[in-house]
Amino acid sequence: MNEYMVLIIIILLILLGMWVYKKVMTKKVKIKLGVIQVLNDGAIVETMNKDIKASSELPFDGNLLASFFAIFLTIRESAANPNWTNLINAYLLKWASVGLVQIIDGRLSLSIDDVPDEQIERKLFEILNEEDILLNNLNNERLSDWGKHALALGETILTQNEDADFDTSGRIRFTRKGYNKSLSHAKFALYFFEISDSFYDLDKNRQTNELCFAILLGLEEEINKLNSSNCEIANMARKILSL
Per-domain boundaries in the chain: 49-241
> What integer pLDDT is reported at residue 2 of this predicted model?
62
Specify the amino acid at residue 111.
S
> What integer pLDDT is reported at residue 21 of this predicted model?
46
CA dihedral 61→62→68→69, nearest 10 degrees, is -20
pLDDT 10s per residue in the chain (243 long)?
566 665 666 666 665 665 544 444 433 333 333 456 778 887 778 765 566 788 999 999 999 999 999 999 988 766 566 788 899 999 999 999 999 999 888 788 888 889 999 999 999 999 888 766 555 555 678 888 899 999 999 999 999 999 999 999 999 999 999 999 998 998 999 999 988 888 889 999 999 999 999 999 999 999 998 887 778 999 999 999 988
- Tally Cβ neighbours within 10 Å of residue 4: 8
pTM: 0.81
Integer Cα distance of 56 and 187 in angstroms: 8
DSSP-H helix ranges across 132-193: 141-160, 176-182, 184-193
Exposure b/e, 80-89, CB count within 10 A at least 16 = b: eebbbbbbbb
